[in-house]
Amino acid sequence: MLPVHFLTIVLNGDPFIRYHLEVFRQLPFPWHWHVVEGVAEQVRDSSWCAQRGGRVPQDLHRDGRSGDGTSAYLDRIAAEEPGRVSVYRKPPGMFWQGKVEMVTAPLAAMTEDCLLWQVDADELWTAEQITRARRMFLDSPSRTAALYLCHFFVGPSLVLDRLDQYGNYRAYEWLRTWRYRPGDFWHSHVPPRLMRPQPDGSDLELGAANPFLHEETAAGGLVFQHFAYATREQVAFKEVYYGYDGAVERWEALQAAGRAVGGALPLRDFFPWVTDAATVARAEHAMVEPLARPDAEGTWGFVPPARGASTAPAVALLQNSGPAVRRRTLVPGEPQPFPTDLIRSVGLFLPDGVGAVLRASGVLRELRRALPLARITVFATPDAEAALALCPYINQRVTLPPLKGRAPDDALVTAVRQEIGQQFSGAFDLTINPHRGEDASFANRLMQDTGAPLRLGCRVGRPVRGYYADAFLTHVAPTPAGLLGALTAGEPDPATEVWTSPAGERAVAALLAESIPARWRCAVGLSASVGTGSLSELCRRLAVRGDTALILVGDEAARGAAARIAGETGSACLNAVGRLGFDGLCALLRRCDLFVGTGAPAEDIAVAARLPMVGTGPEHGDPTAEAMESAIAAWLADRAW
């Protein structure tokens, strides 16, 4: 069933504490809200506040409880929802001995397996987000927790807009949901560490065991709104309790600057306790629609969210975020690590030539099946343009200059990275590099430059020239098939294919009408860079058999060798060198039975068409005509007549 138990600790939570119950009442599954109210004494896990100069003066509370109306509100809703809202308090005048004691108080009442969800009073979620998160846990029983990003408000309409800075450090923020079992216990509150005793006497930290990553939850639209510094009253409380001297005055200066300046403001210019590069932007510039807003008189109200979660704010947060803090290794047979129904735009990086595009043909097909409505953009080098023009699965092609073999700091690599960042920043929900190898063309780094929250690739295994390719991935697969498993519910089929055009098919039909009827068609790939002596001898031997039609293919530079072979073999050989475009060559090789020889792009097309490479290929070295003929004869003998 997986009910959800929400946990909130609060002191003076008005106005945001009033938001949550109406959201919870919309949830279509069992839930319970545990609210722990009161002052946490600045001892034990909360002693850091006192060390900063924080204090708990008498006017901060009323007999150890809230003094702003929160207590009366909690009493009312507990009476309205006696089976779903529980309030925990110390006797009047007593303080909680730190926040660990506060979050521990409800655990005794949580006697069932559930999701435990920490919801601070000023952290706003939608019912749709909560429902989706629960569904993710239901679909992935091995997940132990979830990490989230937030839109961190430092004013009614001001938010922080940079990741891995104040308010959104992925190294430890924001862990908010755990798969709870009775017996689990809190080790600390900041950071929140929920532990599970193990049979060997050790303790498992659920948040670190197997959590949903920030990128996975963001892809599902699970980015909450954190109104941490939205009101003057909140800031006044933090000034006293946390020891942030002058916080109110500086916060008011920030609000004035935010109204006057259109661009981003460094937060440390206003909050001296912030020392990093966090910047402040207006909510509308950060594409964030606040769920809570004050009216002209300053009274706060709650605004229903637009229907449907949007990943756009999450993508904006993830721009220029640097390498992933955590990477998930995809395990075959596990459920999909993130919801695919919200992925609307995909970038596929294939910058290693036409061969890379053809080898990824099966990936493109399965990607389109998994994401039928998504916009798919392929980044590739100029020689792959003809192949991509035939591909029925993509929406857009982007041409990149060849980068293979260059240094990571090469001027061209830097220029391409900057161009990608400028033109495609925030354009993709998901980017993919489906090839194994050393990532010599920096596809993984270029994917990160787009700011895509999800970046899938195959494990590289070792750094090359100081380039740590895996560092830029969020999800790592051992194989392209394993990578597709992250996107498809069923068993993916990464088998390659080749694409043709009607014009190419007509050209091949006319060409083959010139050849003699034969039982088998053998394509012979010729390349001026590779000797053709053995292939010439092989063609003569096969011509004598009388059951094989030889079709010569190759680049323009192989015209001379093709003419000689055609002259030696007579009517058994059809010379197609230079007579077909790329689409025609694809159509031709799709109609052949086997391939011998070499030469791009014919060899790449033959591999994608899954033609047997009989007696040739890198594993055979430079075989003799006799060896190739024997291999072909053995292959023919195994074929059904």
Domain 502-638 has CATH 3.40.50.2020: no
Q: Are 395 and 377 in contact (CB under 8 A)?
A: yes
Q: What's the mean pLDDT in 93-122? A: 97
**Termini Cα distance of the chain:** 58
Q: Are 623 and 616 in contact (CB under 8 A)?
A: yes
pLDDT for 531 equals 63
Name the more confident of 489 and 378: 378
pLDDT for 631 equals 83
- Full DSSP string of 350-385: E-S-HHHHHHTHHHHHHHHHH-TTSEEEEEE-GGGH
Q: Are 324 and 455 in contact (CB under 8 A)?
A: yes
Q: Could you tell me the pLDDT band of residue 310, with boundaries at 50, 70 and 90?
A: low
CATH architecture of 321-484: 3-Layer(aba) Sandwich (3.40)
pLDDT for 187 equals 96
Q: What's the mean pLDDT in 469-478? A: 91
Q: What's the mean pLDDT in 166-178? A: 96
Task: Say yes or no to pLDDT of 641 above 70.
Answer: no
- Indicate the SS3 state at residue 261: coil
* Mean pLDDT estimate for the chain: 91
Chain centroid, CA 569 distance in Å: 55
pTM given for the model: 0.85
Q: What's the mean pLDDT in 560-565? A: 90
Q: What's the mean pLDDT in 163-177? A: 95
pLDDT for 621 equals 59
Q: Looking at the domain that runs over 4-150+166-222+292-302, which CATH code has it been given? A: 3.90.550
Q: Are 35 and 88 in contact (CB under 8 A)?
A: yes
How far apart (Å, rounded) are the C-alpha atoms in residues 108 and 91? 19
Q: Is 618 exposed, middle or buried (0-12, 13-18, 19+ CB in 10 A)?
A: exposed
CB atoms < 10 A from the CB of 281, how many?
A: 22
For the stretch 113-129, pLDDT in tens is 999 999 999 999 999 99
Cis peptide before 141 (omega within 30 of 0): no
For the stretch 335-394, pLDDT in tens is 888 888 888 899 999 999 999 999 999 999 999 999 999 999 999 999 999 999 999 999
How far apart (Å, rounded) are the C-alpha atoms in residues 536 and 621? 17
Q: Could you tell me the pLDDT band of residue 544, with boundaries at 50, 70 and 90?
A: confident
Angle at CA of residue 443, ends 438 and 444, nearest 5°: 80
pLDDT for 443 equals 95
From the list 301, 308, 321, the residue with the least C-alpha distance to 426 is 321
Q: What's the mean pLDDT in 568-579? A: 90
Ramachandran category for residue 570: left, alpha or beta (phi over 0 → left; psi -120 to 50 → alpha): left
Task: Say yes or no to pLDDT of 615 above 70.
Answer: no
Name the more confident of 518 and 496: 496
Q: Could you tell me the pLDDT band of residue 405, with boundaries at 50, 70 and 90?
A: confident
pLDDT for 346 equals 96
Task: Say yes or no to pLDDT of 194 above 90.
Answer: yes
Task: Say yes or no to pLDDT of 532 above 80.
Answer: no
Task: Say yes or no to pLDDT of 454 above 60.
Answer: yes
Task: Say yes or no to pLDDT of 503 above 90.
Answer: yes
Task: Say yes or no to pLDDT of 13 above 90.
Answer: yes
How far apart (Å, rounded) are the C-alpha atoms in residues 316 and 429? 10
Chain centroid, CA 507 distance in Å: 43
Task: Say yes or no to pLDDT of 175 above 90.
Answer: yes
For the chain, percent of residues with pLDDT exceeding 70: 96
Q: Are 603 and 597 in contact (CB under 8 A)?
A: yes
CB atoms < 10 A from the CB of 164, how many?
A: 19
Q: Are 427 and 345 in contact (CB under 8 A)?
A: yes
Residue type, 272: P
Task: Break the chain into its structural domains and give their ranges.
Answer: 4-150+166-222+292-302, 321-484, 502-638
For the chain, percent of residues with pLDDT exceeding 90: 66
Name the more confident of 34 and 561: 34
Q: What's the mean pLDDT in 252-259? A: 95
Task: Say yes or no to pLDDT of 537 above 80.
Answer: yes
pLDDT for 552 equals 94
How many residues make up the chain in this entry?
Answer: 641
Q: Are 358 and 498 in contact (CB under 8 A)?
A: yes
Task: Say yes or no to pLDDT of 325 above 90.
Answer: no
Q: Is 355 exposed, middle or buried (0-12, 13-18, 19+ CB in 10 A)?
A: buried
Contacts of 499 (CB under 8 A, 6+ apart): 361, 387, 390, 391, 392, 583, 586
As a whole number of Å, the CA-based R_g of the chain is: 32
How far apart (Å, rounded) are the C-alpha atoms in residues 379 and 445? 13
Distances (CA, A) of 59 to 10, 11, 65, 92, 486: 16, 12, 11, 15, 54
Q: Could you tell me the pLDDT band of residue 36, with boundaries at 50, 70 and 90?
A: very high
Q: Could you tell me the pLDDT band of residue 308, with boundaries at 50, 70 and 90?
A: low
Task: Say yes or no to pLDDT of 399 above 90.
Answer: yes
Q: Are 4-150+166-222+292-302 and 321-484 in the same CATH fold?
A: no
pLDDT for 92 equals 95
Q: What's the mean pLDDT in 546-567? A: 89
Q: Could you tell me the pLDDT band of residue 150, with boundaries at 50, 70 and 90?
A: very high
